[in-house]
Amino acid sequence: MTQTIAPRVRTLVLLLLAATCALLAGTGPASAHAAVTGSDPGQGAVVDKAPARISLTFSEQVALSDDSLRVLDPEGKRVDTGKPANVSGTTYAVPLHSGLPDGTYTVAYQVVSADSHPVAGAYTFSIGAPSKTSVSVSGQAADDGVVGWLYGFGRYVSYAGFIVMAGGAAFVLACWRRGSGVRPVQRFVVSGWVALTAATLALLLLRGSFTGSGKVADVFDLSLLGQVLQTKTGAALVSRLLLLAAAALFIAVLFGAYEKREDAQEKRDLTFGLSIGGAVVAAGLAASWAMSEHASVGLQAGIAMPVDVLHLLAVAAWLGGLGALLVALYRAPADTPVDAPAVRRFSQVAFGSVLALIATGTYQSWRQLGSWSAFTDTRYGQLLLAKIGLVVVLVGVAWISRRWTGRLTETVPVGASAVREKERVGAGADAADASGDAEGERDGDGDGGSDTDTGLDTDVRSGPEPADTERAAQLARQQAARDAARQKRMRDADPNRFGLRRSVLTEAGIAVVLLAVTTVLTQTEPGRTEQEAKAATSSSVSSSADAGASGALTLNMPFDTGGEDGKGIVTIDLDPARVGDNEMHVYVERPNGRAFDIPEVKVDFTLKAKDLGPLPVVPDHIATGHWSANGVQLPMAGDWQVDVTVRTSDIDEVTVTKNAQIG
C-alpha cells in the first residue's frame, strides 16, 4: 500500500509546485492594491513654469518613507527637497527646488498600500518643452525579484498551513472523534501548525526587504525588522504568532488528554470546550489576514472584514477537512478505519461550507470588481473567473464523492466493529492451524519412544532457551504484520471505498491548484481599482491636452458612492482657469459614457498654501448630467485643491479630490 500511495503523493506535490510557480511567475509590479488615480503635474504634461511641488493621488491611503517620492532632472539628479507628506485625503506631495530649468523630469514613487502591498512606478512631465532624459521610467518594483517570489510562496504556505491545521482539527472534532488517536491524522494537523508558524516567521523577516529595496541581503537587517513591527502588517504577523501558541496548546490537548479520556461525560465536556476554544483561535488567526490586507480598506470595510473571516474559515473547514479525510482513507490503521458515518458527517460540513463560500464570495466579488466588464477586462477578474471554474469542478467531484459515500453506507459496514469481526474469524482460523502444527510436532518428537530413549535430560524441557524466546517474539511480530495486512486487504477490497478514495484524491488535487489561484488573487490589484486608475490616467492625458490647446482646465474624477447606481465620472471644466472670473461646467456620466442626473453636486476650491478656502460653488442644473456656474472667483494663483461632492441618493454620498494649477 505504501508503494501505491507514494506515486500519488508525489503527483500532488509536483502539482502544487507547478501551480505555485506558474501563478507566482505571473505576479509583478502590478500586483498591488493601491493605484495612482491622479498627479500634478499630470503624466506627459508640459507646464510653462516650474511647479513648487509634485503631488500624487492614490486610490487608498499609503505608507511613505523618506524616499517614497523622488523627482529626477534630465541628468538623473534629484531635485526634490524635504520629505514627502500627506496634503489631503489620499494625495501626497513633495516640494521641489525653485528655479528648475526647462526639460523633461521623472517622478518615481514607491509606497506601501493600506492593504500591505508595495506600489511602485514612474512617469515624466516637462517644463517649457520636452527634452532628452537619461532616466529610465520602468518603475521596477521591490517585489519583482527573488524576495518577491519568496514572499509570495510564504503567503501560499501560510494559507495552506492554516487550512490544514484548522480544517484537520475541525474534521476530528466534528466528524471523526476516534481520529484523535490516529497517528497519521495527528501528523497532518501538526504539520499544518508547523508550516503556518514557519511561514509567519519567514514573512516577518522578508517584509522589510519586500516593501523596500528587494535585496536578499536586507532580509536579516534588524533595523528593517524593527520598522516592520511598527506597521499594521507587522502587528498582524506578531498577533498570528501569539495565537499560534494558543493553537499549540489546543492541539496538545486534542491529541493528548482528549484522546485518553474514557469517561463519556468528561469527553463530551472536553469536546464542547475544545470546540469553543478552537473556533475562537481559528477566527483570530483568520482575522490576522482580514484586518491587515484586502478586506481592511475600500468599500464597507466594517462588513468586509468579518465576511472575509467567515470565508477563510469555510475554506478551511472544506479543504482542510478534505485533506484529513484523504489521510484517513489512505493511512488510518486497519483497526481504526474511517467509518461511513464520519464520511457522511464531513459531507454535511462540506455542503454547509460551500453555501457559506457562495454567499461570502459573491459579496467579495461585487466589492472588488464593481462591474461586469471587470471580469474580462482586468487581471483580477480573469483570476476570479478561473477560481470560480475550479470551485465548480471541485463541487462536481465532491458530488461524486457523496454518491460513493451513500453506496458505502448502504452496502458495507466499514466501521471498526466489522473489521474486528473479520479479524476475530481470521485469527481463530490461524490459531487452529498453529495448534494443529504444534500437536503434530509433539507427537513426532520421540518416534514412538520416550525422553529417556533419546538420552536427553528432562530438565531440558523445564524452560525455553533465550533463543527460543526471541524467536517466539519475532514470530509474533510477523503474525501481527500478516494480520494487519490481511485486515487492510479486506477493508480495501470494497470497491465503494476504493471509488471514494479516488474521488477524494481528485478533490485534493483540484484544491491544491485552487489555493494557488486564491493566493495570487490576494496579491492582485482589484478590478474596481484597476478600472478607476485607467480612467484617471486617460482623463489626466485628456486634461493635459485640453489645457495646452485652449488654456481651459478639465478634471475627470471617477466616483463611487457605494450605493445603487452610484458609480460614474464627474468632469469639471474651468475656463479660462485663471485668477478672477471663471466659467465652470460640471458633467456627470455613467462608466459607459452616458450622461445621467444625480440629486446633488457641489464644488469647493481650496488653496492650502495660502490657507484660503474652501470656496463653495453650487452649480445650476442645465440639462441631463450637466450643471453650470458663471462668475466663479479665484482670487490668487496657485495649486488649488478641487473637491467635488457627489450625492446619488438620500444616504449615498462621496467627495472626490484633485489638485489643479490655476493662474
Strands lying side by side in the sheet with 567-575: 553-560, 567-575, 580-589, 626-634, 620-623
Q: Please, what's the b/e burial string for 526-557 (b: 16 or more CB within 10 A of its CB; e: otherwise)?
A: bbbbbbbbebbbebbeebbeebeeeebbbbbb
Lowest-pLDDT choice from 32-41, 248-257, 341-350: 32-41
Here the cell at position 592 is: 459607459
- Span 462-468, mean pLDDT? 58
- The type of residue at 61 is Q
pLDDT greater than 80 at residue 638: yes
pLDDT greater than 80 at residue 311: yes
SS3 81: coil
Question: What's the confidence (pLDDT) of residue 590?
Answer: 85
- Span 284-306, mean pLDDT? 83
SS3 92: strand
Contact 320, 164 (CB under 8 A): yes
Chain centroid to CA 627: 44
Its pTM stands at 0.60
Lowest-pLDDT choice from 181-195, 348-362, 481-495: 481-495
pLDDT greater than 90 at residue 277: yes
Q: What is the 3-state secondary structure (H, E, C) of 93-122?
A: EEEECCCCCCEEEEEEEEEEECCCCEEEEE
Handedness of CA 129, 134, 137, 141 (dihedral sign): negative
Interior angle at CA 538, CA 536 and CA 540, nearest 5: 65
- The type of residue at 417 is S
Which of 22, 37, 4 has its CA nearest to residue 540?
37
Contact 586, 574 (CB under 8 A): no
More confident site: 483 or 55: 55
Which H/E stretch holds residue 184? Answer: helix 183-210
Contacts of 383 (CB under 8 A, 6+ apart): 517, 520, 521, 524
- Span 313-342, mean pLDDT? 86
Which H/E stretch holds residue 87? Answer: strand 85-88
Q: Provide the strand spans (E) within 304-388.
A: none
pLDDT (tens digit per residue) in 494-520:
566 666 767 777 877 887 787 777 777
Q: How confident is the model at residue 427 (pLDDT cuts 50, 70, 90)?
A: very low
Here the cell at position 73 is: 532632472
Question: What's the confidence (pLDDT) of residue 16?
Answer: 47
pLDDT greater than 50 at residue 14: no
Question: What's the confidence (pLDDT) of residue 652?
Answer: 84
Which of 51, 70, 56, 39 has its CA nearest to residue 126?
51
pLDDT (tens digit per residue) in 188-239:
999 999 999 999 999 999 988 888 777 888 888 888 888 888 888 889 999 9
Q: Please, what's the b/e burial string for 429-446 (b: 16 or more CB within 10 A of its CB; e: otherwise)?
A: eeeeeeeeeeeeeeeeee
> Strand 118-127 and strand 103-113: pairing?
antiparallel
Chain centroid to CA 196: 13
Q: How confident is the model at residue 402 (pLDDT cuts 50, 70, 90)?
A: low
Contact 604, 616 (CB under 8 A): yes
pLDDT greater than 70 at residue 355: yes
Which of 335, 397, 371, 312 has its CA nearest to residue 592?
371
SS3 656: strand
For residues 78 and 80, give the distance between their C-alpha atoms in angstroms, rounded to a whole number: 6
Which residue has cell 494558543?
Answer: 246
- Span 248-273, mean pLDDT? 85
- Span 169-197, mean pLDDT? 93
pLDDT greater than 60 at residue 20: no
Contacts of 334 (CB under 8 A, 6+ apart): 419, 423, 484, 487, 488, 491
Q: How confident is the model at residue 343 (pLDDT cuts 50, 70, 90)?
A: confident
Phi, psi of 81 (to 5 degrees): -130, 145
Which H/E stretch holds residue 183? Answer: helix 183-210
Here the cell at position 133 is: 532624459
Kindly report whether the peptide bond that precedes residue 41 is cis, defined as omega within 30 degrees of 0.
yes
Partners of 559 in the β-ladder: 568
Which of 220, 221, 241, 238 has its CA nearest to residue 229?
238
pLDDT (tens digit per residue) in 429-448:
444 444 444 444 444 444 44
> Strand 118-127 and strand 46-47: pairing?
parallel
Question: What's the confidence (pLDDT) of residue 119?
Answer: 79
For residues 588 and 206, give the distance between their C-alpha atoms in angstroms, rounded to a whole number: 45
Chain mean pLDDT for the chain: 77
Chain centroid to CA 421: 48
- Out of 338-342, 418-422, 642-646, give the one with best mean pLDDT: 642-646
pLDDT greater than 80 at residue 368: no
Question: What's the confidence (pLDDT) of residue 298?
Answer: 67
More confident site: 97 or 18: 97
Partners of 69 in the β-ladder: 109
Which of 277, 258, 278, 283 has its CA nearest to residue 268?
258
Here the cell at position 280 is: 475562537
Interior angle at CA 230, CA 226 and CA 235, nearest 5: 110
Q: How many CA atoms lie within 13 A of 42 on its CB side?
A: 25
Q: How confident is the model at residue 144 (pLDDT cuts 50, 70, 90)?
A: low
The length of the chain, given as a count of residues:
663
pLDDT (tens digit per residue) in 539-561:
544 444 444 434 578 888 888 88
Contact 132, 120 (CB under 8 A): no
Phi, psi of 251 (to 5 degrees): -65, -40
Here the cell at position 534 is: 485607467
